[in-house]
Structure 1
Amino acid sequence: MSARRTRWPVTLAMIAATGLLAVAPCAHAFDVLRTEGGISATPAAEIVPDPAGCQFGPPARPLLLAEAVERALCSNPKTREAWADVKAQAAAVGVARAAFLPTVSGNWQGVRDDSATDVSGHPELSSNTAATVRSESVSLNWVLFDFGGRAAALRNASDLLAAARATQDATLQNAFATVAKDYYAAQAAQGAREAAADIERMTQDSLVAAQARVDRDIAPITDALQAQTQHDEAVFNLTKAEGDAQTALGTLASNMGLDPDEPVIVPGVTAAPLPDPTYSESVAEMIDEVKRTHPAVLAAQAQFEAAQAKVAQTRAEGLPNVSLVAKYSRNNQPASLGLGIPTFPATGHDAYIGVQVTIPFFEGFGRHYQIRQADAEAQRQSDMADGTQQQVALDVWANYQALNTATQNATHSETLLAIARRSFDAAEHRYRAGVGNILELLNTQTALARAQQRRVQALADWHNSKLQLAAKLGRLGMESIDDNAHPELR
């Protein structure tokens, strides 16, 4: 009867051990507990979902914004860090799910046992044995009930995974916006350099014209000197503009994971028709939406929910739990019938199965303070979520106003440039005809230079403002880019 009673727990333990050992090698080949389904194939996540999209050669010449964004999202350390956080949290979900499964462990031991007993005065009772002893055992432990501790731990891990995914989205939005800002800054710097080169050529022409009039005794020497001063200042500004352009291009290259000295050429700022500053939704609607849907808000809310689950988990860990325990062991320890009787080869078997109840009666008040700590952390996460909502709302408001300003400035800069160009052409014609004076020519020349620079900067600011508002709304994607015209706010 005893042998029949021990046979089925032994079989249970051996089947469990065999099953888990068979699954273990597969765990390295695929996701057994299905936790990695939502992990993107690249650090760029859904913005660049194709793994081949993160394989790049030398930068295109000229470099378009779409390529710059793809390079930056794939190689930016912050996007890779956020991607790694998602994978780590997915693994944590797997750990939490694994807590619902039994654990099976095996043990094997092989020893050489040399034992000698010398009984004084009674050599017939002495013994001297040597044997190689082997023992094997398989143990099973399965927590059946724990007052919701494992379920709370799983909710905590799942919420943290949701927070990591939302944080990854927010990181991608920020990286996208940063590279776009630096791209347009490089365009503006490059445009400023070209404008400075044009001004240098114009001042050179003015200097030649002034010197010709001085040589013919039509104008005083001061005309040539003033023109020379204006030209030297233009050369100075051109040199500075070239340095600023190289710095901006180096910053853009660094954003893309390239060395700052990597040759990069960006196209000029486009002057596509500017839209009427009207929008399909009001700024109040934008603010209301962003407070609900922005990735940073979703991440903060998920962190708060994870903190609440942690409170429940901490409480449950201080309550009893019920486990199923089983063990089977065997050995070949030699046996003896008594003192002085030689040992004989033998085998031993032991098996048990049962229910174990663990009750934490007293933990030195540590559990009480752990719960208080978890409650305080949940409150902190709630306050952080409120702060995040306020910040994203303010960001949308500020960037909405910046876009309105940039739109108006872009329109005004076009008018200003047209007027400045006509003024300079008229002044130059008058001076060459001997009617105007050098001050009139130089003043209109300076005004034209400023108008050209403002036009380039205004266009770059407008393009950038469109993408920055989309970023603050959490709507940036590759569809937001139109390298043939201008970015569209989706």
Structure 2
Amino acid sequence: MSGSHWRATVAGICLAGLALQASAFDVFRTEAAVPSGPSSPVLGDNQICSFGPIGQPLRLQEAVERALCNGPKTREAWINVKIRAAAVGQGRAAFLPTLSGQWQGVRDDSVTDVTGHPDLSSANRATIRSASVSLSWVLYDFGGRSAALRNATELLAAAQANQDAQLQQAFGTLARDYYGAQAAQGALTAAQEIVRTAQESLTAASVRAEKGVVPLSDQLQAETAYAQAVFNRVKAEGDCQSALGTLASDMNLRPDQPIRLPPPAEGVSTATEFSDSIGDLIDEAKRTHPSVRAAQADVDAALAKEQQTRAEGLPSLSLTAKYSHNNQPATLGLGIPQFPATGHDWYIGVQVTVPFFEGFGRVYQVRQAEAETDLQRATLDEAQQQVALDVWTAYQTLMATSQNIANSATLLEVAEHSFEANQRRYTVGVGNILELLNAQSDLASARKQRIQALTDWRSARLQLAAKLGRLGMWRISRD
């Protein structure tokens, strides 16, 4: 292999190595805009999404961490941020020149036979190598590249806001399903307790009926109440398993994953954490909620895309340069042998590109871009309207559940006293079976309502935080 051939080969390999090496570096630091993990905006960059066996009982904090780390939608939103960050890098790269190299090596075997003139015939064999380097640099394009970069930057901002919105939604959904499963588990416990008390009432009625103290109808009514209690317990078991399966699915686990939740804790404080008026809360959410910020970024991106589309139909000015080198043999004429030779060529200059006529396509591209901008503005209005409604609904739900915390406590206390009194009256022969069974039914309802009130209030508190875009791990520190 000749020296020049070796140098050309080495140059080609070096260029290829530089290209591969450059692809491994984040030159424009776009990865800084990407969270370290799908749950980082809520859980923090130090959170490692690695879990062991599920906690027994499963606490809300662990459930949230599993849902945000493992949920397919949260991972999709995170990956979309990575895609948009890479697009920003492409937009910045458009301001730099492009440099490309080409190397070619061929074996040339040419034979020329001149009929009747063998002295003019020739047979030449040569290994021909050529190399070239080209440079192109757009110097001015009426703001097209700047608009493209703004478009990519705004789409990245929209992706980041969408990730925040998705995390808020996943957090809120998990909290709702967690407390729903907790309520279902509590309802099952209450149903089991009602079965026990119904059994006691049936035993007491059966004993008194056997002694002839009360008619047989008392025993039959007690048996009916007991059968109804068993029926309700079986239904509560099914509802509990369904709710636990939904909770497991939120954490990207199998629905049949065994889960045990702690019972709803008493001692809640219904002092509102949202001291602003409902009007102020709505106004704040319409400005700062992640879904609104994402919609606003989409509007800005559409405006930049519209400007980019217009600029692409205008002239552009570029710097161009090229250098080439080859060892193509030379000959002075027909029948004269070829002689080794080298040649090189280079040029540098400017290039003006003017799109004189594009078949009227540019007109319609601009119209499409304008319409897409109008569409994004309508989407922004829709997002603000939906956020306002969601905040209003969540606020009213929280106010109602706050009042029902005290109401349910009073109801349960009264129902317990009523059942105890009627049970004593029936045991000593003063009361009747209908009073006892009614008190028993009222106690069952009061227990379920108390559990439901506790879980509803906790869920409503987190739902309002989610609708405001304020949901974070600190909100569950006391649950």
TM-score, normalising length from structure 1? 0.93
1:160 aligns with 2:187: no
Deviation of 1:184 (Å): 0.2
Aligned to 1:67: 62
CA drift of 1:217 comes to: 1.5
Q: Does structure 1 residue 302 correspond to structure 2 residue 310? A: no
Question: How far off its partner does 1:278 sit?
Answer: 8.2
CA offset digits 1:422-477 (Å, max 9, x no partner): 11010000000110011110011011111111111111111110000000000000
Structure 1 residues 362 and 219: CA distance shift in structure 2, 3 A: same
Preserved CA contact (<8 Å) 1:274 1:411: no
- Once the two structures are TM-superposed, the CA of residue 156 in structure 1 deviates from its matched residue by 0.2
Any unmatched runs of 5+ in structure 1?
1-15
What CA deviation, in whole Å up to 9, does each residue of 1:189-245 have, x standing for no partner? 000000000000000010111111112221111111111111111111111111111
Residue 399 in structure 1 maps to residue 394 in structure 2 = yes
**Structure 1 partner of 2:5:** none
Matched, 1:371 2:366: yes
Name which of 456, 463, 466 aligns with 2:461.
466
| Aligned pair partner of 2:188 in 193, 199, 206 | 193
Q: Which amino acid aligns with 1:188?
A: A
Q: 2:20 and 2:338 mapped to 1: Cα distance?
A: 43
Q: RMSD in angstroms over aligned alpha carbons?
A: 1.7
Find the counterpart in structure 1 of residue 337 from structure 2: 342
- Do structure 1's residue 87 and structure 2's residue 77 form an aligned pair? no
Cα displacement (A) at 1:25: 4.2
Deviation at 1:246, TM superposition (A): 1.0
**Alpha carbons 2:133, 2:323 under 8 Å: kept:** yes
1:235 to 202, 208, 230: 230
Task: Write the deviation string for residues 153-175 of structure 1: whole angstroms up to 9, x where unpaired.
Answer: 00000000000000000000000
Tell me: CA distance 1:335–1:410, structure 2 relative to 1, closer, same or farther (3 Å).
Answer: same
What is the aligned partner in structure 2 of residue 359 from structure 1? 354
Q: What CA distance in whole angstroms lies between the structure 2 residues aligned with 1:451 and 1:27?
A: 69
Paired residue secondary structure (2:95)? coil
**CA–CA distance in structure 1, aligned partners of residues 14 and 142 of structure 2:** 28
Q: Relative to 1, partners in 2 of residues 1:27 and 1:348: Cα closer, same or farther, differing over 3 Å?
A: closer
Map of 1:250 onto structure 2: 245
How high is the sequence identity, in percent, across the aligned residues?
61
Q: How far off its partner does 1:277 sit? A: 5.5
> Structure 1 residues 205, 38: closer, same or farther in 2, change over 3 A?
same
Matches within 5 A, 1:397-436: 397-436=392-431
Q: Judge which range, 271-280 or 402-411, deviates more.
A: 271-280
SS at match of 1:343: coil
Q: CA deviation at 1:21?
A: 6.4
Cα pair 2:40 2:47 within 8 Å, conserved? no
Q: Aligned to 1:442, which of 437, 441, 461?
A: 437
1:477: which partner in 2? 472
> Alpha carbons of 1:340 and 1:27: their partners in 2 closer, same or farther (altered >3 Å)?
closer
- Measure the CA separation in 1 of the matches of 2:45 and 2:116: 87
Count of residues in Structure 1 that have an aligned counterpart in Structure 2: 469
Question: Which amino acid in structure 2 is aligned with residue 108 of structure 1?
Answer: W
Structure 2: gaps (5+ residues): 1-10
> Match of 1:140, as an amino acid?
L
Aligned partners of 2:246 and 2:348: how far apart in 1? Answer: 67
For residues 87-143 of structure 1, give each alpha carbon's deviation from its aligned partner in whole angstroms, at most 9, with x where no partner exists.
000000001111011111111111111112222222222211111111111111111
User: Within the alignment, does 1:311 sit opposite 2:309 as a pair?
Assistant: no
Shift of residue 408 of structure 1?
1.5
Q: 1:391 to 1:35 in 2, by over 3 A?
A: same
For 1:28 and 1:186, how far apart are their aligned partners in 2? Answer: 49
- Paired residue type of 1:146: D
Asked if the contact 1:139/1:325 (under 8 Å) is kept, the reply is yes
Q: Determine if contact 1:42/1:48 at 8 Å carries over to the other structure.
A: no
Please say if residues 42 and 51 of structure 1, whose CA atoms lie closer than 8 Å, have aligned partners that are also in contact.
no
Query: Quick check: 1:35–1:90 contact (8 Å CA) kept in 2?
Result: yes
Show the counterpart of 1:136: 131
Classify the secondary structure of the residue corresponding to 2:42: coil
Go from structure 1 to structure 2 and tell me whether the alpha carbon gap of 1:439 and 1:60 turns closer, same or farther (over 3 Å shift): same
Aligned in 2, Cα 1:279/1:479: closer, same or farther, shift over 3 Å? Answer: closer
Q: 1:196 to 1:291 in 2, by over 3 A?
A: same
| Counterpart residue identity of residue 175, structure 2 | A
Structure 1 distance, partners of 2:390, 2:38, is 25
Task: Give 1:53 deviation, angstroms.
Answer: 2.8
How many Å apart are 1:260 and its aligned residue? 1.0
C-alpha distance in 2 between matches for 1:278 and 1:181:
19
Distance between the aligned counterparts of 2:273 and 2:352, measured in 1?
68
Cα distance, 1:410 vs structure 2: 2.0
Give the corresponding residue for 1:13. Answer: none
How much has 1:18 moved relative to structure 2?
11
